[in-house]
């Protein structure tokens, strides 16, 4: 994945969307075309895609009009219809119509004696859907500084704000998913980054949105520690760090009530990745991001289960790989990242945004 960096002075959502859509028109159009083709490959009809995109965009417009305005302006500037970019923004809601595997691992350490959280995440996805990614820095109209990583067309995925909050993002799967079309979960991540500075504020924002797809937002703050906010159409759960300060999340629910409706399959190796991270956690404390990435792999190195590699024997839409390794500096308002696996991040180092 090639990462593109944009620091914009635009504070108006529409102006920001026009800037992204103009500067990265080819990438916005490419992302839309790739996702529309992917949906078709999964057997999701164009009618279902468009209806879900439109309905989710309507829900977004009612819940966070500025984020919807940014998407519409991006589409217009890139020469697309609004629904074609909205379909990328609501890709999780559309994919809930034909559930697929989820493969991301997040680990956050909150020092029991105090200090800023230490974090790391892998973003595992299809490289055919995300050959390009965006690192975006901007300030809201209210002056809140935000830095985030996302795909072209989605509102946000992983990021930090200058109020001392960072956010990681993992997909989940629940039996209540896919019935209606709710607020896009990527937009919920974006609004948390724009408005929240505490776990409580992040939780309240997430709870205020009706969703149709499950996701967990793991927030880490300098103010009140960290929490994984699990969302499903059936409800919301909040999971706090264990007594040793560690909060680990993969792709299965940890909240006991929501876990009863979990539909993640064994093929996602979510439990195995969770246990690998639990075993590695003691060696991951008080390290640089590159050292943490190495400890994350453990003695397995490049063969660690948290380093996903595409299986060429499978169909393209069934090939998963670790496209990004990222660590959040919530106190220093920064992202440390490497396009690739934790093993590659440990070997080659991480870049700073």
Q: Which residues contact 80 (CB under 8 A, 6 or more apart)?
A: 28, 29, 32
pLDDT at 268: 84
What are the pLDDT digits (tens) for 288-301? 999 999 999 999 99
What are the pLDDT digits (tens) for 200-219? 999 999 999 999 999 999 99
Lowest mean pLDDT among 53-62, 107-116, 147-156: 107-116
Tokens encoding 48: 């279902």
Domains for the chain: give ranges and CATH numbers. Answer: 2-95 (no CATH), 103-352 (3.60.60.10)
pTM score over 0.85: yes
Mean of per-residue pLDDT scores for the chain: 95
- C-alpha distances (whole Å) from 3 to each of 24, 92, 245 are 12, 21, 32
pLDDT at 113: 87
Task: Please state, in angstroms and rounded to a whole number, the distance separating the CA atoms of residues 330 and 59.
Answer: 30
Helices (runs of H) and strands (runs of E) counted in the chain: 12, 14
- According to DSSP, residue 170 is labeled E
pLDDT at 333: 98
Higher pLDDT, 19 or 113: 19
Which alpha helices (DSSP H) does the chain contain, by range?
A: 13-23, 25-41, 46-63, 65-78, 82-89, 91-95, 185-195, 199-207, 256-259, 270-280, 289-297, 342-348
pLDDT at 64: 98
Q: Is the pLDDT of residue 304 over 90?
A: yes
Q: Is the pLDDT of residue 134 over 70?
A: yes
What are the pLDDT digits (tens) for 80-97? 999 999 999 999 999 987
- As a whole number, mean pLDDT of residues 157-182 equals 95
First-to-last alpha carbon distance for the chain, in angstroms, is 16
What are the pLDDT digits (tens) for 312-351? 777 677 777 999 999 999 999 999 999 999 999 999 999 9
- As a whole number, mean pLDDT of residues 29-53 equals 96
pLDDT at 102: 67
What are the pLDDT digits (tens) for 321-331? 999 999 999 99
Task: Please state, in angstroms and rounded to a whole number, the distance separating the CA atoms of residues 342 and 295.
Answer: 9
51 backbone dihedrals φ, ψ, rounded to 5°: -65, -40
Percent of the chain whose pLDDT exceeds 70: 98
Q: Is the pLDDT of residue 166 over 80?
A: yes
- Using an 8 Å Cβ cutoff, are 296 and 342 in contact? yes
Higher pLDDT, 223 or 83: 83
């Amino acid at each position: 994945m090639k990462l593109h960096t944009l620091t914009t002075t635009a504070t108006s959502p529409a102006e920001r969307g026009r800037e992204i859509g103009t500067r990265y028109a080819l990438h916005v159009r490419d992302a839309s075309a790739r996702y529309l083709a992917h949906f078709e490959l999964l057997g999701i009809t164009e009618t279902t895609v468009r209806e879900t995109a439109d309905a989710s965009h309507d829900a977004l417009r009612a819940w966070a009009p500025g984020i919807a305005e940014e998407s519409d302006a991006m589409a217009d500037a890139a020469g697309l219809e609004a629904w074609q970019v909205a379909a990328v923004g609501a890709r999780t809601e559309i994919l809930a119509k034909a559930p697929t595997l989820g493969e991301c691992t997040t680990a956050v350490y909150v020092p029991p004696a105090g200090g800023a959280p230490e974090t790391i995440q892998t973003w595992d996805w299809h490289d055919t859907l995300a050959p390009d990614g965006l690192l975006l820095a901007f300030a809201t109209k209210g002056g809140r500084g935000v830095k985030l990583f996302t795909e072209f067309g989605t509102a946000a995925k992983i990021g930090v704000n200058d109020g001392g909050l960072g956010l990681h993002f993992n997909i989940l799967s629940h039996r209540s998913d896919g019935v209606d079309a709710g607020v896009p979960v990527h937009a919920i991540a974006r609004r948390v980054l724009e408005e929240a500075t505490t776990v409580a504020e992040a939780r309240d924002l997430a709870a205020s949105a009706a969703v149709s797809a499950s996701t967990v937002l793991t927030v880490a703050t300098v103010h009140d520690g960290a929490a994984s906010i699990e969302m499903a159409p059936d409800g919301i759960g909040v999971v706090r760090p264990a007594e040793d300060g560690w909060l680990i999340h993969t792709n299965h629910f940890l909240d006991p009530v929501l876990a009863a409706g979990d539909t993640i399959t064994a093929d996602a190796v979510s439990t195995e990745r969770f246990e690998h991270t639990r075993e590695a956690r003691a060696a991951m404390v008080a390290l640089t991001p590159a050292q943490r990435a190495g400890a994350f792999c453990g003695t397995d190195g490049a063969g660690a289960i948290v380093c996903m590699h595409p299986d060429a024997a499978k169909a393209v839409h069934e090939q998963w790989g670790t496209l990004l390794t990222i660590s959040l500096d919530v106190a220093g308002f920064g992202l440390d990242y490497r396009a690739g696996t934790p093993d590659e991040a440990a070997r080659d180092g991480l870049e700073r945004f």
